Amino acid sequence: MRVNSVPLQLFFAGSLSIFGCSGSNSGDVGAGGAIRVGGSSGLGGNSAPGGARSGGSIVASGVAGSSGPGGNSATGGVTSGGGIATTGAAGSPGSGGNATAGGARGGGGIVATGGGIPTGGATSTAATGASGGALAAGGAASAAGTKSSGGMSGTGGSNLTGGAAATGGAGATGGRAATGGSVAIGGSPATGGAKATGGNPPTGGSLATGGSLAAGGAVSTSCGAGTATSSDVVVNLGSVQQKISGFGASTAWGSTMSAADADLLWSTTSGAGLSLHRIRIAPDGTTTETNIAKLAVARGATVWATPWSPAAAYKSNGNVNGGTIVDGSRQAWAGSLANFVSTMKSAGVTIFAVSAQNEPDASISTYESCTYTASALATFVGSFLGPALANSGVKLVGPETQNWCNFKSYADAIMNNSSAASYISIIATHEYGCADAAHVVPYTTGTSAGKEFWETEIYDQGNNNVADSGMGSALRVVTLIHNAIAVANMNAWHYWWVYPNSAGNGALWDYTTKQATKRLYVMGNYSRFVRPGYQRVNTSGTVPSGVLLSAYKSASDGTVVVVAANNNNSATSLSVFISGAAPCSVTPWVTSSADSLASKTALTVGGSRFTFSLGAQSVTTFVGKP
């Protein structure tokens, strides 16, 4: 934690002052540009939408033409619902003829996949069929069909003489024909529009050249194909980088939180969807944040904990502020931390991980702290805390250094101590200093050994910490997130405080208004959509000047997430090419001076590409599922 002044903490009694993060001002985090990760993209394949109904004929072009007028059917006959063209856009529905006994009324033209479909086309009404007979060939509905986007479902097929009424065919995604209609294979999927229903299949038709019958009427869900251009940012779904464990913040020294604030923090439907929450372990092995932790757990967040200082009796100076731990007290302190885990579990909060020490490299005497050398911390982890937590199922975090400057020496000490390395699961640091290209780099010593790499505390120190609840501070925060995740390949990222104890930018809420700032919402541009277990994927190509961009995917369902931050003072055009299983549409979620994680109109992905105009000084997350 950093301290520039000593303001009074709002959440506890006494004179203890906690704001920001400790240590000297080793250097502010700059709003530097993104570091791109290169990689080439593959090309998506064409999908063949829709399957042909049994008995129906498939036209070669896959495009429906104008429908003919419906004729009167003879007894047991089927009314002609409209002709099938070989080229051209979808025609208007044919007028229905009057059916005689057992006949079905014509319901409009048959829609061929790949043609345009008029929006709002009416559906026909199913005619009554004679009872007792079997369903006519081609009258059965395709089992795998689903309603197309924007289309209206059919209400019935046509019967042969004496046949039972055909069930309504479900339209396939992208404009698949209703019961009795025939579908052209090999065309591009039509978008939206109403589907013709009740269309009657021609008797004895044959499959058109180049088409193939789709088994079960299944429809390809890929909207791939296309070729990347020099103006595209290429998202290569096949080039997987690190797993994402989450995004979070802390309520250290806090004790209360409203349900509304909890929803805004952790809900994935109405809030920012933060997935990690960091709490403080007090010197006596307790916490003031049990009730807050329960709110977090109830909303699906993972709770972990950090000690700032051992008990005064365990310290070299007899004080929780400053000093070091006495060698003879290390076992007792490790036992106190293990007991904390058990106590919280009994209270209904499962602690995911425990840190060995907050900022062991900082020498502080104005608030709770404890200094360790790199080797001393490694010894404490390997010989005391690791064994104390070994049977608890809790992960061990360290070193949580104050800044990037000292991080590597402390992390290396842990990894070079075989016992400490065997117990540590998460290598972590804060970012109060040396947040430059020379230091903000992957820690391969740890990650190659299976350790996760977390950023666990920082706040916006830009603009001399002048209070800014808007996009200026928010975009500086995005730069911190981007550089940690997309440059240093970190698995998790945390802001410092949820609630402030003084004016400035040290928290996600504003000190004066008591409301959430844009800092929370831009965190939500990541955390609400890039869920724990998602994977960052490689990007290449041309990212517009002034824009930071990173991409992610779900390993379980293929959901694609692209986060783009526009630091420019004017709108900026963005073209994204998705190499791999591209979704057919993506929904933009925007945070700007006017919007706070607001959903916008979905964008169509065509030939694996979508384009969007990024608003000035904004962050946009694009989300789509193949």
Q: Which two tokens stand for residue 334?
A: 């490790």
Within 13 Å of residue 222, how many CA atoms lie on the same side as its CB?
A: 13
- So what's the pLDDT on residue 349? 98
Q: What is the pLDDT of residue 1?
A: 60
Neighbour-count burial of 484, counting CB atoms closer than 10 A to its CB (0-12 exposed, 13-18 middle, 19+ buried): buried
Please, which pLDDT band fits residue 216 given cuts at 50, 70 and 90? Answer: very low
pLDDT of 21: 33
CA 33 to chain centre: 23
pLDDT digits (tens, 9 = 90+) for 123-147: 333 333 333 333 233 333 333 333 3
Q: Is 376 exposed, middle or buried (0-12, 13-18, 19+ CB in 10 A)?
A: middle
pLDDT at residue 255, as a whole number: 98
Nearest to 470 by CA among 415, 525, 535, 520: 520
pLDDT of 225? 86
Cβ atoms within 10 Å, residue 450 = 7
* Global pTM value: 0.68
φ, ψ for residue 398 (rounded to 5)?
A: -175, 160
Report which of residues 164 and 490 the model is more confident about.
Answer: 490
- Sign for the CA dihedral angle at 60, 65, 71, 76 comes to positive
pLDDT band for 464, please (50, 70, 90 cuts).
Answer: confident
Is the model more confident about 223 or about 82?
223
Q: What is the mean pLDDT of residues 437-448?
A: 98
Higher pLDDT, 142 or 623: 623
Q: Is the distance from CB of 33 to CB of 27 less than 8 angstroms?
A: no
Q: Quick: pLDDT tens for 357-390.
A: 999 999 999 999 999 999 999 999 999 999 999 9
Question: Could you tell me the domains of the chain?
Answer: 49-220 (no CATH), 250-457 (3.20.20.80)
What is the per-residue pLDDT for 78?
Answer: 31
- The backbone torsions φ and ψ at residue 280, rounded to the nearest 5 degrees and listed phi first, read -100, 140
pLDDT of residue 223: 84
Q: Read off the pLDDT of residues 235-286 as tens digits, 9 standing for 90 and up.
A: 999 999 999 999 999 999 999 999 999 999 999 999 999 999 999 999 999 9
**Given this model, what pLDDT does residue 224 score?**
77
User: What digits encode the pLDDT tens for the residues 424-442?
Assistant: 999 999 999 999 999 999 9
Mean per-residue pLDDT, 160-173? 34
Distance CA 107, CA 197 (A): 6
Can you tell me the mean pLDDT for 454-465? Answer: 95
Q: Is the pLDDT of residue 28 over 60?
A: no
Give pLDDT, residue 2.
53
Question: Percentage of residues in the chain with pLDDT exceeding 70?
Answer: 65
Average pLDDT over residues 96-117: 33
If you average pLDDT over every residue of the chain, what do you get? 75
CB burial readout 85-113, b (16+ within 10 A) else e = beeeebbebbbbbebeebbbbbbbbbbbb
Contacts of 581 by beta carbon, 8 Å cutoff, 6+ apart? 44, 222, 224, 237, 558, 626
Q: Once rounded to an integer, what is the mean pLDDT over residues 9-22?
A: 33
pLDDT at 495: 98
Express each pLDDT in 539-591 by its tens digit.
999 899 999 999 999 999 999 999 999 999 999 999 999 999 999 999 999 99
What is the model's pLDDT at position 141? Answer: 30
Q: Which residues are paired to 475 by β-bridges? A: none
Q: Which residue has the higher pLDDT, 114 or 311?
A: 311
Confidence of residue 174 (pLDDT cuts 50, 70, 90): very low
pLDDT number for residue 222: 56
Rounded to a whole number, what is the distance in angstroms from the first to the last CA of the chain? 42
| 407/33: higher pLDDT | 407
Report the pLDDT value the prediction gives residue 33, as an integer from 0 to 100.
35
Higher pLDDT residue, 75 or 541? 541
How distant is the alpha carbon of residue 258 from its chain centre? 26
Instruction: Mark 198-217 as b/e (b = at least 16 C-beta within 10 Å).
Output: bbbbbeebebbeebeebeeb
Other C-beta atoms closer than 10 Å to the C-beta of 224 total: 23
Predicted local confidence at residue 280, as pLDDT: 98
